[in-house]
Amino acid sequence: MPRDPHPSALSEIVPVILAGGAGVRLWPLSTRSRPKPFLSLPGRPSFLQQTAARAAAMQAPFIVCNVRHRPLVMAQLPQAGQMILEPEGRGTAPALAAAAHFLARQGDRLLLVMPSDHQIRDMDVFLAAVERGADMARQGWLVTFGMPPRSPSPHYGYICAGESLDGDVFNVTRFAEKPDKAAAAALMEQASCYWNSGIFLMSASSYLAHLKAAQAAIFDQSYQALARARRLQNAIYLDENAFSVCPALSIDYAVMEQSSKSAVIPVSMGWRDLGTWPSLLSALMIPEQNRERKTCRV
């Protein structure tokens, strides 16, 4: 049975929810005016609301989204903390950089970075994994969570785990970006390879230090975009001129793949990425149970 996470271990964590995706793979359900984070399955809260609910024991959620979607966030998440408003999407690395620069001003904070289009069925296991990862994040590790693969899917990235750093936490030896089906099948045969969930846990200072070393342009331009930002209540409007020249890169490529301090926690928590039509339809059809190939748990 998963252990119950102690509330105080989670209460210091700031959830950073990335809701800036256009969701083009779910067109026509997802549109520019109402992209996938703000959609919902029948009878359920929106994907954004479900993501925020996972962090109920943590601090107020910090939302990063496109400037034109501020009204949607305010309507769906009145309890949100700060909002970082992007003039345009530049990938997850600049999005997190702007949030990390802001939060680093308030002291070094632990950031739980979550995309807003995921399904997690086993919340107890998820929170226990986050609590476990917080121990490593405080030591400067960039922590991600590996999902046991259910099939050799070319739609997901893969993480290969190496030696144990501390019990069920492993160093990352390789990231494989959405391999073709044959390569995915080969990776799946390795017991130490997992789907890349795209969920990260790290301190603001660690992320910024690794970003500055690997992608100085993103570090500098996101800082300038924040320094020149316009404030309105809890919304921060990033400066368009500075932010638009940030290289458009993912957190995985910009930082995680370049760092020697990337760690992975394998965890079975009923995870599914709902960013494509096949995964969305599968979520509607598959019963409420964990069908993952492996049974590793925190």
Work out the end-to-end distance of the chain between its first and last CA atoms, rounded to an integer number of angstroms: 9
What are the tokens at 74?
Answer: 């305010």
Quick check: helix, strand or coil at residue 263? Answer: strand
Task: List pLDDT tens digits, range 223-257.
Answer: 999 999 999 989 999 999 999 999 999 999 999 99
Task: Read off the pLDDT of each residue in 71-94 and give the average, rounded to a whole number.
Answer: 92
Residue with tokens 């802001």: 102
Average pLDDT over every residue of 265-281: 74
Q: How far apart are alpha carbons 75 and 91 in whole angstroms? A: 24
Would you say 100 and 204 are in contact if contact means Cβ atoms under 8 Å apart? yes
Would you say residue 119 has pLDDT above 70? yes
Tokens at 254, concatenated? 């910009």
Query: What letter does residue 123 receive in the DSSP assignment?
Result: H
Torsion sign across C-alpha atoms 195, 197, 203, 207? positive
Confidence of residue 276 (pLDDT cuts 50, 70, 90): low
What are the φ/ψ torsions at residue 5 (nearest 5 degrees)?
-70, 140
Separation CA 202–CA 263 (nearest Å): 10
| C-alpha–C-alpha distance, residues 26 and 106, integer Å | 37
Q: Which domains does the chain have, with CATH numbers?
A: 7-285 (3.90.550.10)
More confident site: 271 or 247: 247
pLDDT at 21: 63
DSSP string, 102-116: HHHTTS--EEEEEES
Spatial neighbors of 230 by CB under 8 A, at least 6 apart, are 236, 237, 239
Instruction: Residue 282: count other Cβ atoms within 10 Å of its Cβ.
Output: 15
Q: How confident is the model at residue 273 (pLDDT cuts 50, 70, 90)?
A: confident
Q: Mean pLDDT score of the chain, rounded to an integer?
A: 86
**What is the reported pTM?**
0.87
Lowest mean pLDDT among 43-47, 106-110, 113-117, 138-142: 43-47
Kindly report whether the peptide bond that precedes residue 28 is cis, defined as omega within 30 degrees of 0: yes
Residue percentage of the chain with pLDDT more than 70? 83
What distance in Å separates the CA atoms of residue 250 and residue 98, rounded to the nearest whole number? 14
What is the per-residue DSSP string for 167-209?
A: TTEEEEEEEE-S--HHHHHHHHTSTTEEEEEEEEEEEHHHHHH
| Three-class secondary structure of residue 86 per DSSP | strand
Percentage of the chain lying above the pLDDT 90 cut: 64
Q: How distant is the alpha carbon of residue 128 from its chain centre?
A: 17
Q: Residue 154 in contact with residue 181, Cβ under 8 Å?
A: yes
Runs of H (alpha helix) within the chain: 7-11, 47-53, 70-76, 92-104, 123-137, 181-188, 204-214, 216-227, 240-243, 251, 277-285
